[in-house]
Structure 1
Amino acid sequence: MMIKLCISTLLAIATSYLFLTTPTPLSTYHSLFISNSLSSNESISNHLKTLTKRPHTAGSEANSEAASYVLSVFTSSNIHSHIASYDVALTYPLSRSLVLTPSPHEPPFSFTLKQETYEGDPYAYVADEVVDTFHAYAKSGTAIGYVVYVNYGRVEDYLTLQRIGVNVSGTVVLAKYGEIFRGDIVKNAYEAGAVGVVIYSDRKDYGGGDQAPWFPEGKWLPPSGVQVGSVYGAKGDPTTPGWASSGECERLSEDEVEKEGNVPLIPSLPVSGADGEKIMRSIGGPIAEDDWQGSKDAPTYRVGPGPAILNLTYKGQQVMATIQNVIGVIEGAEEPDRFVILGNHRDTWTFGAVDPNSGTAALLEIAQRLGKLQKRGWKPRRTIILCNWDAEEYALIGSTEWVEENREILASRAVAYLNVDCAVGGPGFHALATPQLDELIIKATQQVTDPDNSSQSIYESWTGSGSSPLDRGADF
């Protein structure tokens, strides 16, 4: 039901920029576009199952297979399509280790750094294809030092530590995910003098606290769950800042990339909530402030330094990998040189059921419905471009390289970009937009019936639920 809600809303937003060039009233095509007569929930469900049957990190064979699937759906929907490939610098983990020595009188403990499957997990048989937990573009190296707890690793958190006399220089810091970008957590730690960073998902923020059940019984991150992501501080291929990674283009060396100031200069690792809590139990020193504390049943958080010592080692490998954006084009009948672009990324760190492939499944459903409308005589007024991006998780690379390659034409012809990453995830409707699209989203949601409450529109459910108003943001 939530898939239908999300797709209906996205279709309404997309068609708000489409105009009819045949005698059939526009409202007829709008109604047909979002009706069940063109397709069913089974169609979008099959797309999602196909896209998530294997882990498919950017640069992997599985992700290339997923690109071929997207291309086949576009072309079978009578949409002129092609793959736009780029050779870009991606990093992968070669080895990782994290050893905790709680005190001089206790033996060291080596973390497994492994995410566990669960009983009945239908994907356990391909779990070994999941890339090891790591930070993309992390600095390779070894860091050894007393542990200091730095809350979320913000600048103000370091000022708090400075105020109470805690020196971070030469330590390995333990930080919580949340509040700021993980790359800034590492950057702030380096600027404070730390030699390494461990970032964990605190149970209070991501595990449902001390009461709520975690997955698969509930929605919360399980104790062994780890947030993987990039610590690169810019967008696009780090070796081609500002220009497309195509052909025999000029590239920066690794030393030149480092001088750009966007890659971390100390090693880091992401760990689970369970591992983070184990480290926390070994930290002494002053008690952290109340708003730095964890769940009610968590240990008392102290800031250190020590007596615990962490030994962190990470070795990564940078390779030139081919990424594949899938591009589909439906030419406009009246303004073919004006573009309405709908996009989402395909790559993921693991299986990507929500992020991103609930959005890719939505994109494919939209493509199929647009194809069926074309068979009934409909044509858009403006050209529609459907984009399935690659390597978004690393640094928005696929979309950035495509824009850099087509910068001039997009600057003069693009009308709007609609992004459908994480199309479905929990109850309710949420949207982010630039101010120019506010009115469009409001009108679109007013035209679509809430599938969970047929007596009102999505707009009425949205505004009546106390949800946040339209926010500003992008992930493409």
Structure 2
Amino acid sequence: MDQARSTISKIFNGEPHSYTRFNLTQNMEGENSQVEMNLSSNMDEEVGGNGVGDHLNHNSNRKPYAGQKLGRKPKNLCFMAATTLLIFIIGYLIGYLIHRKKDSAPTCEASLDPFVDTFDHETGAAPLMDWDDVTKLLAQKLSAAKFEPVFSEFSNTNHRAGSPGDESLANKVINKFKEYGMNSWTDEHFVKVQDPPASGYNKFAYKKGRDEHPQGFLSYSPNGTATGAVLYAYYGQESDFRLLRDKNINLTDRVVLVRVGRISFAEKVANAAKMGASAVLIYPDPADYSIGDSTALFGHVHMGSGDPYTPGFPSFNHTQFPPVQSSGLPKILAQTITAGMATNILRQLGGQIEPESWGGHYKLGEQSDVITVEVNNVLIEKKINNVFGVIKGFVDADRYVVIGAQRDAWGAGFAASTVGTSALVELARSISDMVKNDGFKPRRSIVFASWSAGEYGSVGATEWLEGYLSSLSMKAFSYINLDKVVTGQKGFKVAASPLMHRLIESTLTEVNSPNKDGTLSSQFAKGNMELNVLEPLKVDNAAYPFLAFSGIPSVTFGFSSGNSDYPFFGTMLDTKEKLNSATSNQVAQLAEIATRFAGHIALRLVHDHLLRMDLIKYNNIIRTQVGQINSKVNTVKKMQPQLLPKALTVQWLISASGSYSRASRKLVEDIKNSDLEDIEMCRIINDRIMMVERNFLSPYVSPRESPFRHILLGSGPHTLKALSNHLEALRTDHPEADGDLFHNQFALATWTVQGCANSLASDIWSLDNQI
């Protein structure tokens, strides 16, 4: 009615009409046409009043009012009455339609933790289904019984990346996506990987004995021959090598023997190379892995992810790349050997006994324990295919969560890839069915991705990120990793971006065991989630490049065997039978719970009007690391003040930390004080939330030299952790420590934190320049 009265008033008062651009379709960025209508309305108000807009009225050329022109004859009065009635009816209908459209316009609620949700709002574009109904629907779609046939369908004894078996599974996945009515496509890459020699062997000879020919191998090791004295170095961690160095043991040109576990193969080799070793042999110690004396191990030693021969670039066919290699490729030889081969070497080693903290059983080796290692891997090009399917959102279709799983494996790879691929397909089926048949309308899109070449270092996933990084920059707001979601039944572990911790905590309380006897309920830890469930995200996890390379908040999780790793990863023994044995034949039940856990997170992210990201979480992390740096700087200045420039003050970094804290809290206040009925305001706020993770990527380092640029969770000299380690090196007078270099790294880290705070503040007039 208000609109009708306004329309009639304008006609009879002779107010000039203004044009309104009206576009019912979304533009390229997905904005709703309602924005243009509001702008036009504002312009109407400006034109109709006095002041700057008066010159647009052209009052001198206005026509006389209707009453003046027609006069007041009875015939004219009847005509005017009829006209008035007609206009009133038309105006009423217009007002009704506009009012109705306004009522059904998409709205937004403040559902961001740590704030309490208000009531649900309906949106015309995507009616908001009650969250309890959403979770009940998902539970109805998923069941352990449905997983068994899927496991059988996606099991394959030979599906190494680029093989016919890998391609066959890719076709099965994409056919499933099409069957579910999803838009699907493939992403083809030509990548360079190392495989074991097609003819001949990798080999080693200990103390001039006979040649041993291990069947396993480590992709991306340099080829060649190295001879040196064996040195046992426990797990090959930095702390292990420091302990050996403190014992005045010569590390130069040694062939280091290390156990599998605790850190990745690539980290072990990189640590040994820093100490001057000439080669690394990696074996599964019987105390850690009961896999037999002759089981071969497979893996890679690229200290990074993706194709190392196109660092920072996607490996598309016929594309030109700079003639460079990844800085993460090792400079020394690396090879796996079996437990039996390692036991034979360890029995014959001389020298000191290993430290008690290591076990006190093995000897470390001496200069006479000479071994010769020869690596003859073959570098080949393989065509791989990533497979995708999408469930499009009904409001912000151009914003999406990505759910992915590795498809390839060295052998059967049941725990490594089959369970994850099955979970991916089942989740796609369930949510598609909810949209198609149950009225669920996600606000944002869900992209399902089946990656290839995961065993070579998340190659397929990283190449996709490199190929579409600019497109993904403000589109993909989260990644959920389904790799290795079931490897045991003794515990449940999660590694994720701190932005997602609050969402993970609420999801843990929602997803309960389906077993009435409660046998699986204990897997979800109770009490302190950070102590019992959360763990750091490891470099060799497929979610790591999404977080540390691309700045996309990510989560990976799974049922585990407690404190020990699943022993059959990277072997030919990763079969359904072995996993059933490790889980008391409950693989299907555990897979169902893990899939529901992933589904709850994904659905919550596409259901709520605001992304459930905890903006305040990073405050404590930054404050803690800055506090450690401040303490160590003060220590170095007291003990060896000449090592640090006089101009250096930690106050710079402390101020930048404060800027981030204020900016994040200001955004939380903006959320509480904004009119969240406005869908455009909701989109703006979500975009500001999505900037946080990306702006922790240092803009001052090369993605080729330091691909994992995240200053808090990445790796490299640009991180706050590296600053703390550099200060420790300065304190101990380590030869590689450099005060001027530290000053440079310190300044760049400071401005990265400040830049993140500025971006979070959004408007240029809201920036905090107190630094």
Aligned length: 412
Instruction: Return the match for 2:193 from 61, 80, 90.
Output: 90
Instruction: Return the match for 2:148 from 37, 45, 52.
Output: 45
How far, CA to CA, are the matches of 2:512 and 2:160 in structure 1? 36
Q: Does 1:475 align with 2:542?
A: yes
Instruction: Return the match for 2:219 from 120, 126, 136.
Output: 136
Deviation digits for residues 5-42 of structure 1 (CA, Å, limit 9, x no counterpart): xxxxxxxxxxxxxx99358645334212112xx35434
The structure with the greater share of residues assigned to strand is 1
How far, CA to CA, are the matches of 1:448 and 1:193 in structure 2? 49
Partner of residue 27, structure 1: 132
Contact 1:166–1:304 (CA under 8 A) maintained in structure 2: no
Letter in 2 for 1:241: P
How far, CA to CA, are the matches of 2:133 and 2:234 in structure 1? 55
Question: Cα distance, 1:180 vs. partner?
Answer: 2.8
Partner of residue 231, structure 1: 301
Letter in 1 for 2:420: G
Deviation digits for residues 332-388 of structure 1 (CA, Å, limit 9, x no counterpart): 011112111111111222211111322111111101112222331333111111111
Letter in 1 for 2:266: G
Letter in 1 for 2:308: P
How far, CA to CA, are the matches of 1:162 and 1:25 in structure 2? 61
Partner of residue 167, structure 2: 64
How far, CA to CA, are the matches of 2:515 and 2:379 in structure 1? 47
How far, CA to CA, are the matches of 1:307 and 1:58 in structure 2? 42
Deviation digits for residues 422-457 of structure 1 (CA, Å, limit 9, x no counterpart): 111211332222122222222222222213456699
Deviation digits for residues 282-312 of structure 1 (CA, Å, limit 9, x no counterpart): 1111111112237xxxxx3111125433222
Q: Does 1:433 align with 2:501?
A: no
The change in CA–CA distance for 1:288 and 1:338 in structure 2 (over 3 A counts) is same
Deviation digits for residues 99-141 of structure 1 (CA, Å, limit 9, x no counterpart): 4435xxxx7244352xxxxxxxxxxxxxxxxxx4111101111
How far, CA to CA, are the matches of 1:457 and 1:304 in structure 2? 46
How far, CA to CA, are the matches of 1:337 and 1:195 in structure 2? 50
The change in CA–CA distance for 1:462 and 1:154 in structure 2 (over 3 A counts) is closer
Q: Does 1:78 align with 2:181?
A: yes
Q: Secondary structure at the match of 1:355?
A: helix
Q: Secondary structure at the match of 2:273?
A: helix
Partner of residue 463, structure 1: 526
The structure with the greater share of residues assigned to helix is 2
**TM-score, with structure 1 as normaliser:** 0.79
* Greater relative contact order (CA < 8 Å, ≥ 6 in sequence): 1
How high is the sequence identity, in percent, across the aligned residues?
28
Instruction: Return the match for 2:212 from 99, 111, 117.
Output: 111
Q: Secondary structure at the match of 1:202?
A: coil
Partner of residue 255, structure 2: 172
Letter in 1 for 2:133: T
Instruction: Return the match for 1:447 from 504, 507, 510.
Output: 510
Q: Does 1:150 align with 2:233?
A: yes
Contact 2:508–2:524 (CA under 8 A) maintained in structure 1: no
How far, CA to CA, are the matches of 1:33 and 1:155 in structure 2? 45
Partner of residue 422, structure 1: 484
Give the structure with higher Rg (CA). Answer: 2
Partner of residue 315, structure 1: 376
How far, CA to CA, are the matches of 2:400 and 2:394 in structure 1? 12
Deviation digits for residues 227-272 of structure 1 (CA, Å, limit 9, x no counterpart): 421101122211221122223222344xx32xx4321122211122
Deviation digits for residues 61-119 of structure 1 (CA, Å, limit 9, x no counterpart): 211111111111111111111111111111111043434435xxxx7244352xxxxxx
CA RMSD of aligned residues (A): 2.6
**TM-score, with structure 2 as normaliser:** 0.50
Q: Does 1:249 align with 2:322?
A: no
Q: Secondary structure at the match of 1:412?
A: coil
Partner of residue 347, structure 2: 281
Contact 2:267–2:303 (CA under 8 A) maintained in structure 1: yes
Unaligned stretches of 5+ residues in structure 1: 1-18, 114-131, 208-213, 215-220, 295-299
Q: Secondary structure at the match of 1:462?
A: coil
Deviation digits for residues 389-448 of structure 1 (CA, Å, limit 9, x no counterpart): 111221221111111222122111222211111111211332222122222222222222
The change in CA–CA distance for 1:469 and 1:40 in structure 2 (over 3 A counts) is closer
How far, CA to CA, are the matches of 2:248 and 2:519 in structure 1? 58
How far, CA to CA, are the matches of 2:429 and 2:496 in structure 1? 25
Deviation digits for residues 183-238 of structure 1 (CA, Å, limit 9, x no counterpart): 2322332333322211111122x22xxxxxx4xxxxxx333334421101122211
How far, CA to CA, are the matches of 1:52 and 1:232 in structure 2? 28
How far, CA to CA, are the matches of 1:261 and 1:338 in structure 2? 33
How far, CA to CA, are the matches of 1:110 and 1:327 in structure 2? 46
Kindly report which structure 2 residues correspond to 1:318-357, keeping only aligned pairs within 5 A, or say none: 318-357=379-418
The change in CA–CA distance for 1:459 and 1:343 in structure 2 (over 3 A counts) is farther
Partner of residue 74, structure 2: none
Partner of residue 338, structure 2: 272
The change in CA–CA distance for 1:415 and 1:398 in structure 2 (over 3 A counts) is same
The change in CA–CA distance for 1:233 and 1:33 in structure 2 (over 3 A counts) is same
